[in-house]
Every structure is written in C-alpha cells, then in structure tokens.
Chain A
Amino acid sequence: MSGLTADCKRVDEELDRQFGSPAPALSEPARRHLDECERCRKLNEWIGHASSSSSCRPETLASVHSRLSASLNPVSARPPLSILVFRFGIVVVSLALLAIGFMRRAGFSRMNVPQLIGITIVLLAGVMLLAVCLAWEITPGSLRRVSATMATAMAAGGFAACVLLLFPWWTPEAFFARGWPCLGEGLGLAGPAALLLWLVARRGALPGTGAFGGLLGAMAGLAGASVLQFACDRQEGEHLLFWHGGVLLISMAAGFLIAHVLSYLKQREA
C-alpha cells in the first residue's frame, strides 16, 4: 500500500466524525472498502476494539469488598456545586468586608465613580470565576467549561486591564517605600483567607495538585487585593498593578508551590 485512496480518506472522515461513539457505524461504501484495504480494516478494528480478556482475580475483588465493608458508615452527599460556589464566595467577600470595616477606607474617597464601579465588578467577577473553578476542582468528575489556568489568567488579566484602562498611569513618589507596606498587608490578609477557604474545601475530594493550590492561592490573593483596593490611598496605575496585583500573583504562586510540596511529602510518606 503506497498511499491513501479517496476511499481511505472517506473512512478516515467517517471515523473522525464519530469521536465519541464507542463503536463507529460506517456507511456501506466505507464498509465495502474495508474488505479491500488492510490499513483501513486495521484502523477500524483497532478503534472498535475493546479488550475483553484482561480481568482481575476474584480474590482481589473479595479483598476489596471486605476492606470497604469493614469501614462502611453512612455519609451525607456533598452539597450541589452552586452551594459550594456560594460558600467560597461568601468566605472571600465577608472577610474582605470585615477587613475593610476595620481598616482605613481611603481608597473609596480617592476613586471616581467609573473606577469604583469598574474595579468592584472586575474583583467580584474574578472571585466568582475562581470560586466556580475551585468547586469543580474538589468535585471529581465535574464538567469544566474553563481550565484552572485559564480562570486564574482571566482573573489576573481582568484586574490588570481594569487598572490600565480606568486608573491614571504615572509613577508615584516613593514607589518602593510606599509599596512594600501594601504588599505586606495584602499578603497578611491572603493568609487567613487561604486558611478559611481550605477549611471549606477540605470537605471535598482534595486532589492535592498544583491547580488546586494555585486556585486557592489566587482566590485568597484576590481577597487581599480587594481589601487594599478600598483601603489604600495610592490609586495610581503603577502602584495598583505592581503592589496590589503582586499580592494576587505571589499568593497564587505560593498556593501552587505549597500544594506541590505537600503532595510530594504525602507521597514520600506513602
């Protein structure tokens, strides 16, 4: 067989169209072609193939059953995804409101109305998006519409875009001297937020992966950045992007690394 014929391509196209089907049903001309072409026959057999001979020993199944039965207690099913999302969201929002209540609220008076509305919408949308992804992450077999990486990129990108579009862009005086305290305060708030989020998440199936850690860290960082946004009197674009956005990025990276380290240690113990 030197090359593909038009019939070979027809078989390829029909198989391609039926990705999800366990056993593709081919048209009559395609079936006739299978009798003539070894390459297509093999491809079709391979795709329709399911090994039936490999099976586990009955003793293994008996051992599994006795192990599970030994610790069989009734459990309550996890709440729906919407409730999980609500819980994550409420943790971040209530912590942020509480912190804003106790701290100075200079940010409110320094922002104009479009800035206030724009940044509030972006921060809330980011919290919602990350809460949905975190709920998917702790629920095995959930259908994801957005990947964890994409969600964190969207939350961070949304914040950056909002700052670039709505806030004045110049380097403030004492850029570093006035920035460090903001970064410290933001990270100081992200810590308790991460802890509270973890307390809510631990009822799920914790995958212990970087994606879970990154999402949790990003959400906690967003809580810190939200508080800073309304508490800080520096509302220049560079300060917001570098020092307030830094809280989000550092917190996300820390979550990612901590999850990896914990996962590594757990596997070493096992």
Chain B
Amino acid sequence: MVSGTSATEMQREERAGESGLAGLMARYQKGDAAAVEELVQSLSPRLFRYFAQSGAAASDAEDFLQDCWVRIHQARHTYRSTEPVLPWIFAIARHTRLDSYRRRRRRESREVLVSEPPETAIRAVYSLPERQEEFLRMLEALPESQREVIVMLKVSGMTLEEVARATSSTVGSVKQKAHRAYAKLRELLQKGA
C-alpha cells in the first residue's frame, strides 16, 4: 500500500497543476518563451514515464520525448484552450511512439545480424527496485493496446475520458481494454502466487 499511497499523492500533485496547463498552452500559442519552458518542465516527466513504461529503453524514451515535443510544437495551433490539455498531448505522444515503432520495425527487417548483439540490460540503465521490475514485467505480459490504456490510467493518472480522447477511441472501448488487462493481471498473479 505504501507505493500506492505515494503514487496517489504524486498524481494529485500533477493533477492539481492541470488547470494551469491550458493557460500555459494559450501563452505558448502566443509565442511566450517562458510558457514553453514551464510546459516542458511540467509535462516531460509524465511523457517520459509514458514512453519508458510502454516498453522503451531509457535512451529511446528520451529520443521519443524529443521527437514528441517537436510534433507538439508543429501541431500547437490545433489546440483550443477550452479543451483538456493532457489528452491532446498524449494523442500526439501516442502517434510519436507508434510511428517510431513502425520505423524501427522496418529498419530491423532490413538489417542483417552479423553477430550476437551485446547483452545490454535495458533496465540496468534505470537500476529499478525489485517492485518496479515486477511492475514492468507484468506490463510487458499485456497486449500492446491494453498496456497503453493501463499506463495512461495508472501511470499517467488520466481519467477514462482523457484516455479515450488520447487513444482516439471511445470510453466504452477503454473500459473494455482496462477490464481485460485487469483480468489478465489477475490471471498472472494467480499463477505467480
């Protein structure tokens, strides 16, 4: 319960600042450099966690983050201050991740392995505690679409409607994916216990 409680506090803190994000976005659209810095500082940790916990290595997650900010910059005129910021940001983050994934898959399909790749332990970069290792292992066992929903709901602390907006789907579909993910998780825990 300890980790659950600290997570709640952290998510509350992040959510408390959300009302100010719309104002920052409006200033960003007007070309305010200070607003850009504040936005980058406040949103990057969430985005990084999203990329890192969607199965990317630390270095890749940083690349995704940079690419994502470039896309956010190019699409900043498509935001309206009357709408929530997080789904808009995460919809772009999602496209960044999917495009990078597709690009990598194409590149890998053309590459010819001449020797065994070095055993670089991705997680060693993070040096994660055992509990988080377990958390990531369980996430990896979920299908891609379910993992994405769970990461947004439970790691990024978004609501069902925000996840539906970010993933271009409906609230019902998000609920269904979350339900299936929980069922799979229960099954895994049942096997492990």
Contacts and interface: CB of A to CB of B under 8 A. Distances in A.
Q: Tell whether A pairs with B.
A: yes
Interface of A: 1, 4, 12, 15-16, 19-20, 22-23, 34, 38-39, 41-57, 60-61, 63-65, 67-69, 71-78, 80, 136-147, 203-205, 207, 211, 267-268, 270
A258 to B, nearest CB: 17
A43 B190 CA distance: 10
B22 to A, nearest CB: 11
B153 A19 contact: yes
B62 A207 contact: no
Contact of A54 (B29, B73, B126): B126
A115 B52 CA distance: 57
Interface of B (DSSP majority class): helix
A45 B3 contact: yes
A50 B87 contact: no
**What are the 8 closest A-B residue pairs judged by CB atoms, nearest first?**
A48-B4, A141-B88, A141-B87, A23-B8, A50-B7, A140-B91, A20-B160, A74-B31
A124 B186 CA distance: 48
Interface residues of B, number: 85
Contacts of A49: 3-4, 7, 131-132, 135, 154-155
Contact of B75 (A22, A60, A140): A140
A68 B73 contact: yes
B66 interface: yes
Nearest to B102: A267
B59 to A, nearest CB: 10
A204 B78 contact: yes
A181 B29 CA distance: 50
27 contacts: A12-B182, A12-B186, A15-B182, A19-B160, A22-B7, A22-B15, A41-B1, A42-B193, A47-B182, A48-B154, A53-B126, A61-B40, A61-B44, A63-B66, A65-B36, A68-B73, A72-B33, A74-B31, A77-B29, A78-B80, A140-B87, A140-B91, A141-B89, A143-B87, A145-B170, A205-B78, A268-B106
A111 to B, nearest CB: 37
Contact of B132 (A34, A53, A60, A78): A53
B49 A20 contact: no
Contacts of B91: 140-141
A142 B92 CA distance: 12
Contacts of A146: 170
Given A20-B153, A143-B165, A34 B1 contact: yes
Given A80-B82, A143-B165, 8 more contacts: A48-B8, A49-B131, A52-B7, A54-B58, A64-B66, A69-B36, A77-B29, A141-B91
A147 B3 CA distance: 37
A46 B52 CA distance: 17
Contacts of B90: 141
Contacts of A140: 75, 78-79, 87-88, 91-92, 95
B24 interface: no
Contacts of A207: 95
B178 A67 contact: no
B167 to A, nearest CB: 10
Contact of A74 (B30, B53, B106, B190): B30
A198 B132 CA distance: 46
Nearest to A47: B154
A42 B7 contact: no
B40 A51 contact: no
Contact of A60 (B31, B53, B66): B66
Contact of A80 (B70, B79, B80, B166): B80
Contacts of B73: 67-68, 71
A55 B95 contact: no
Nearest to B126: A54
Interface in B48-76: 48-49, 52-53, 58, 61-62, 65-66, 69-70, 73, 75-76
